[in-house]
Amino acid sequence: MHWDIFCRVIDNHGDLGVCWRLCADLTQRGHSVRLWVDDASALAWMAPQGCASIKVHVWPTDAALQTLAQDAAFKVGDVVVEAFGCALPEAFQALMVQGTPPVWINLEYLSAERYVARSHGLASPVMSGPARGLMKWFFFPGFTPDTGGLLREPNLLDTSPAQDNTPSPFISRRSKFDRAAWLAALPLDQPIAANERLISLFCYEPAALPDLLMQLSQADERTRLLVTQGRPSAAVTAATQALNLPPSGTGQLQISQLPYFSQTDFDHLLWACDLNFVRGEDSLVRALWAGQPLVWHIYPQDDLAHHDKLHAFEAALDMPLLLRKFHAIWNGLETGPLPPVSRAMLEDWRDWSSRTQHRLQSQTDLTTALLGFVAQKR
């Protein structure tokens, strides 16, 4: 089948990250995809190799679509995906009513809230505008079998032993991933020592960040904090300045700034670290598949709706109480010191992460579920 997927980049490229993974997964399964996006600049580092079966187009103007309408070779896809309520251009909607109507999917944001299962797969008749008379279908990602599932490429999770035999609490489940070699190739200011605990940081601007930095600097074991580019890097710079700490860390804490990573290398980062701080939707899902301890910085909303969303996530995945406490403080729902990131606590969180990964792996992945849903509606 041919797919048209529409995406608008809001502020942090997360929408584009989800859409690109969906596009890539579809092409791996033999489909062709046009990705229409208003800002594709992040693909230069997110997907530097591109994909021959994905045609990236700038968000179309009415004039551009009118020109396409006159091209006899142009056809609207068999499936049109409106990602995260981005609203299709009316001129494109007009093209959709010509010939056989496509299956029109509204791909929604990920949530564990109860409304997701109730709303997944519902129809929304289009009552006005150029696409009047067509049907739009709501498709919700989720954490339970009665939702659309999570994005997971075929064979992502491999239970074969890793090639890396270096002693470490990390056990890779990907037989082709050489952790030691990947870490050694990172462009860091100081090479990673064998006894360093590795923590990745991908966040917004959590108020508890200075507390985390001070805690790690005074811990019993050495920690390397691997900081991703953009807002996390700026947040760490502000925090170290406020604490009057060297930007490279102090005491038991070594801080290293990472370059912008491709999606593949970001996955590798999550696989390689002993604890992952993630944010948004795409990195949360990838951290769940990594099977390592994680802390989620949920996207903050002015009306505090993210509080309910976080609580629903914690309940749906039966998160340990101490990890819930950490999430509450990290996300600003509570104040006070963060629970200490001790070896015993990480082991407990790792057990939970492993159980959660296996539980979610037993569910149908999002792309498979979406293909089955589309087949029913064609």
Query: 224: Cβ–Cβ under 8 A, 6 or more apart, which residues?
Result: 192, 193, 196, 197, 198, 199, 254, 255, 256
Tokens (6 digits) for 360? 């979610």
Among 302, 298, 364, 283, smallest CA distance to 120 is for 364
In angstroms, the Cα distances linking 201 to 31, 84, 109, 222, 258 are 35, 26, 23, 16, 10
Torsion from C-alpha of 49, 55, 61, 65, nearest 10 degrees:
170
Q: What is the CA radius of gyration of the chain?
A: 22
Q: What is the CB-side half-sphere exposure of residue 275 using CA atoms within 13 A? A: 24
Ranges assigned E (strand) in the chain: 2-7, 32-37, 54-58, 79-83, 103-107, 123-125, 135-139, 197-201, 223-227, 253-257, 275-279, 294-297
Tokens (6 digits) for 40? 């594709």
What span, in angstroms and rounded, lies between the C-alpha atoms of 64 and 62?
5
Q: Any catalytic annotation for residue 281?
A: yes
What span, in angstroms and rounded, lies between the C-alpha atoms of 287 and 298?
13
What span, in angstroms and rounded, lies between the C-alpha atoms of 223 and 209?
15
Among 6, 31, 1, smallest CA distance to 18 is for 6
Taking a C-beta distance cutoff of 8 angstroms, is the pair 201, 236 a contact? yes
| DSSP β-ladder status, 135-139 and 123-125 | antiparallel
What span, in angstroms and rounded, lies between the C-alpha atoms of 31 and 16?
19
Among 368, 376, 358, smallest CA distance to 148 is for 368
Task: Name the active-site residue from 164, 274, 281, 282.
Answer: 281
Alpha-carbon torsion 4, 12, 206, 250, what sign? positive
Task: Name the active-site residue from 4, 15, 314, 365.
Answer: 15
DSSP string, 190-208: SPPPTT-EEEEE--S--TT
The residues that are catalytic are 15, 281
